Structure formats: C-alpha cells, structure tokens
Structure 1
C-alpha cells in the first residue's frame, strides 16, 4: 500500500471518529456533583441515595433476582429523566446507558426486554447491552464505559467483585460524576467500596385504579444495608409511578382495609332485648 493510500485511509478513519464523537457529545448529559451527605429528610429516600454519582450495589437472593432487575429498570428510567432535566436548554437525544452482564445471567434470567423498559419509562434504544463470559470482563466493560464520558450511568451484573475492582469503579464514577450500579447475589459478602448497598425484595403491588382485581403499580421492599455519609440502615417499601417516572415511598397504612365495625349480637328468638334506661327523677 502506497503512502498516499495509507494517508487517505487514515484521514477517512479520523473523519469517522470525529463524526462519532460529535454525535456522542450532543447527547452527553451535564451531571451534577455528588453531595457529601444528604439532608436528614432526604437521606431516608433510597431513590435519592442510589441516583447520586458513585458506586452502588443492589443485592438479592436467587429467588428475588428478577425483582432486583425490575428495580434496576426503574432506577435507569429515573436516572434518564433526571439526567435529561439537567440540560433542558439543549435539544439532544436521551442520555445513553450501559448494561453489562455475564452470559450466565442472560441464560438464567434473560436479557433486558425492550417493551418492558418502555413501559417503565425508559427509552430502550438508548441502552447499550453487553454480554461477557466472566465477571472480570463485565467490570472491564463498566470501567471503559465510565471512562468514555458519554453515558449517564452504567449497570453491571456480576458475581465476584474484589475490593480493588470496586474501588476502581468507585473512583471512576466519582471522577466522571455518574452513577454505577452493580447487581450482586446476596450470598456475596466481600468488602466493597460502594457508597450504598440496598437489598431488594418483591412486595405486593399497589391497587389498580380501575380494576381492584388486577395488579397495580410495582413495589419493592428496599433495605438499606450500607451507606457512606448517609443515614442509618432502614427498610421501606418503594412504588414505581409509570406516569411520572419516579419512585414513591409507600406509607405503612397504604392500601389497608378499614377495620370492620364490631358486630352486635341479636337476642335469641322469643327473648326481649334489655335496653338501658335513663333515670329521670
């Protein structure tokens, strides 16, 4: 190949790279700095905790892993809405996200379902999915995604995560001011540099507005197990609002039936009821 041909190929490659970078920069959200600590009244809201830039863990038992994935779908939708609201003056595509998982997780629990993401309020065309063979490959993909600076968040499903790997992810997420979430099995209890760790369990859905017999809004029982510069551990029930694309904490008395009025026993047949008489004299 002549020097002129090599120069032309290199110029064409550089032109394509410039166009790709320009397209990415048009949709890069301007992200906010992570506060060192949230106000007391906001610190008890798991949604605000895990939407902060930094590394966060979502843990669940094997039987609850599908619920944890559903919660992660809602987290992505909430983050997409939040990141888009930070730059209303610029007309751009919705921010992009990375979801990396092992092939083992894909075989066991399936791949992200586009219509389901859309129903949760997330734009599925803005989700980049990656399937890897090992947890190390997933962690590498997350690191590269954070370094790219073109994402609004990165999510990974992994098994083993060492302290060194979690520290690298935590530092990169803080440096690039974006959240990174890890979905991990509950059985894994290795030390981690994550800002927060939430245990996710399924909860009975809310009441359907039009059909009491139909399932309503999705709910999860969320337990805060760890929080750096945050509140003490707590447990709440979270509900996803499909219309506003945000979480709500469910009140302890929500959807409970009113206590039944005490039943009065009728006197047996043939017997007169004894009524109290007021004294008049």
Structure 2
C-alpha cells in the first residue's frame, strides 16, 4: 500500500452517485460483490464522506467495501470526528451542530445498526497517512509535523475518542490536523447562516517548498486569493493540493492520480450548486 499507485479522493459529503461515477472514471470495478482495480491502484479518501448529501452512510459503506477488499484507505475527516463526538455526547447538541449533521443523523436514527457498522469502520481508519516512502503526506486539513506526531493512529477506543473531543488532552492536535488552523476575525455570517468570529488560515501558502508533497481536503469555500479555481498544485513549492471542490454543495468531486499528477473531476450527480 505504501508505494502506490494511488488515487486520492476529495471530500464526498454524502454524494453517493457522484462517488460511484468517480470510481468508474478511475477504473475501479466490482465483480459480484468484490471491488478491485485492474492495475492494482489504491484509492485514498481524504475524509468527510458524511453529511450534506443524500446518502452519507452509503458513502461510508462504499469506501468500507473497497477497504475490505484491499483497494482503498481513508483518513479521518472533521465531519466523521464530529459525528463520533456528537453521538457520544462529546459535542454540543446545538442547533448549528445538529443542522450540520442532519442528513447523517436521519439515517442513524432510522437504522442504528447501520451506524454501528459505519462507526466501527470510521474508527478503524487512520488519522493521517505517509505514503510513497515518505514522499506523499495525506491529512484531512493541515499537516503540522508536531501535531501529527501527537495524533494516535486511530480513534478506536473510548479513551482516545474522549481525548480528541473538546476539552480532551489531544484536542489541539486534532483541531489543527483534522479541522485546520483558524485565526480571530471580525464577526461574520458564514455560508450556513451562522455567525462566526474565526476564519480558516490558508496554511499552504507557507508550506515549505522542500517538504514532501501533501494532499488534503476540507477547504471547499471560494477564496479567490488563496484557493485555485481548478484542481492543481499550489504553495511556494507547488507541492500542496486541496481536493475539496464543494461536492457537498453541488460542486464537482475531484481526485488526484499519483504519481502521475493528473487531476480528475466528475460533475455532481446528487446535488445542484446554490443559485
């Protein structure tokens, strides 16, 4: 798994038909019930399979199938981490948090056993990955070497889940790597209609030019001065790539073929972008 080749997949956010279209585009096949790639490629999801779209748990189940059959892995996204915290009462059940989690929560309430299987899979997946003998870093939001070293490989025990939650001993490391650094700013209304007093930091603009390539998701919203309008390498060394292009808001789903360096996009089959 460490050497590749890999297909790195951006934030899916419940868009199951779009995910299946991307798998077809990338060449993944299902014979009976078994997934494989005829050229031995491995899919790497950067996380955020759930929330927003019409079938969050279906997306988890699809990636879990590929992982079970040895042709995929994922890294934990902030929406998966938030879901684990929410169902355990480690995340506030506020109106804002419930609205963010609503499409997934509806499925959980309709089929708790389905969630039990999805949860077990999410907890089994790594918090970050180092691939191609260290030449490729994969994390959901931010590769901070000191914080990465603090992260457990997985959040697969109650103690680790509590440690990753607000007030936990590992909260800061998870906040940096899985949710990304933020800074204080004047109060503003975000895209979800909620007031905020912090904003995300475009850390890739200062990512060292001599560092290994890093691939991440998370940063879906348009920052013309910071985020490329089309998929590509960015940063001082052109060695950082964000794969989140708003699939959960009707945008395309994006993937990166590695080591080829080819970015692949498929149009959204599940959601329309807002007018």
Fold in common (TM above 0.5): no
TM-score by length of 2: 0.34
The structure with the larger Rg is: 1
TM-score by length of 1: 0.33
